[in-house]
Amino acid sequence: MAQVLEFKLPDLGEGLTEAEIVRWLVEVGDVVAVDQPVVEVETAKAMVEVPCPYGGVVTARFGAEGTELPVGAPLLTVAAGETADARPSGGAGGADTARTGGAGDGGSGREPAAEGSGNVLVGYGTSQAPARRRRVRSAAPAVNGRPRTPEPVRDTTGPADGPVPVISPLVRRLARQNGLDLRELTGSGPDGLILRADVEHALALRPTTDRDRADTATGPTAQATAAPAASPGRAASVTRVPLKGIRGAVADKLSRSRTEIPDATCWVDADATELMRTRAAMNAAGGPKISVLALLARICTAALARFPELNASVDTGAREIVRYTDVHLGFAAQTERGLVVPVVRDAHTRDAESLTAEFARLTEAARAGTLTPAELTGGTFTLNNYGVFGVDGSTPIINHPEAAMLGVGRIVPKPWVHEGELAVRQVVQLSLTFDHRVCDGGTAGGFLRYVADCVEQPAVLLRTL
């Protein structure tokens, strides 16, 4: 006999509490295998395809595309072992048969998908799927105008006093916003479970005037986009953009940084002419081209070796400064989805060629929206090349919980006194924003001065190579 297994939205990465459904990859009635991706979600950090740790027939999906779900909320339910009459995943037919568990030859079905999942999802692991308390039963007459799976016999003369058979908080919210009593509905899901489709069907049967009034007053879209009414003599043109996804995560992190970190900024202009000549000589020698960002990253890791106070964070709860031995270097990358900060692991162990290749790989993944949560977390220091936007300087906000960020402006020809004479040189402005709790101005100034010296005279790096 089939078991109905509930798959909840897993913890997809460090600090993530919710995700938005972008695209369902399966339909109700589809047969899914263990570890098969079933939904594509967008977290605050990346686009992720979520694999299901169970195999069987999809009996319900919770949440439409564009819906935000908290971690731990139900994503879908799977009838393990009930695959005889269900259509393969992605097929166009057999949906109604699959929803009722199938009435064909049960001997040709797959084995129950209680096998271990190869993908480790937080809260699921790789052991056998736990037994569930629901069962899929044979087909029964339609209710609410929709096919349903029968439920245990109950008194239908009036609303029951017991718990309402609803799992999804989205279904409860939809009913509440439209003034619908869930106790008046009979669910079409397994064991009489009330699904979103049941609520929508009940709302569709309402008189038009009542439905329009409810939609206008309480519809979530209207709440999200409603603007204040225009007052006489003043034209109102307001657009409200929800702070969610990457934009919401960036807002939360920057606000937290400004609230918790007493930051300060120092800056210096540097003559980058010799650095650019050194890069040109490297690239002329053959082999992979070396990027300016890679050279700046190499200088940065050398400076952190001399001033380790800045490769740190503050544990406010323990009132301790946490210093890191390894340098995991984040770099700001602007994408169509917003600002992200991919992390180059063990940057202090990489040479210029390795850094160039890793920057290119992570940048491409950021633009494609395929960065994993692991590639977006765990940084200890950030390099911000805002010169690509054509600006000279900035006072960036520290990437919490890190303790410092090096900013690099555009490299442009400017008048500069060189060897006692006025000349046109390639000049760059460098800035360091740092957490004043981890060090004093002398340390920050020493770090920035060393970086500037290496930019002006790259041979300085030879002392530590």
- What residues act catalytically? 436, 440
User: DSSP secondary-structure letter at 328?
Assistant: -
Per-residue tokens: 449: 């001065």
Beta strands in 138-279 (DSSP E): 140-143, 146-148, 263-271
Gap between the Cα atoms of 311 and 434, Å rounded? 10
User: DSSP secondary-structure letter at 232?
Assistant: T
Bridge partners of residue 37, in order along the sequence: 51
Gap between the Cα atoms of 258 and 256, Å rounded? 5
Q: Which strand (E) or helix (H) includes residue 296?
A: helix 292-306
Contact 70, 10 (CB under 8 A): no
Per-residue tokens: 7: 């798959």
Bridge partners of residue 405, in order along the sequence: 382, 433
Helix boundaries (H) for 345-456: 352-368, 441-456
Contact 192, 4 (CB under 8 A): no
> Cα dist. 212→184, 316, 395 in Å?
21, 51, 50
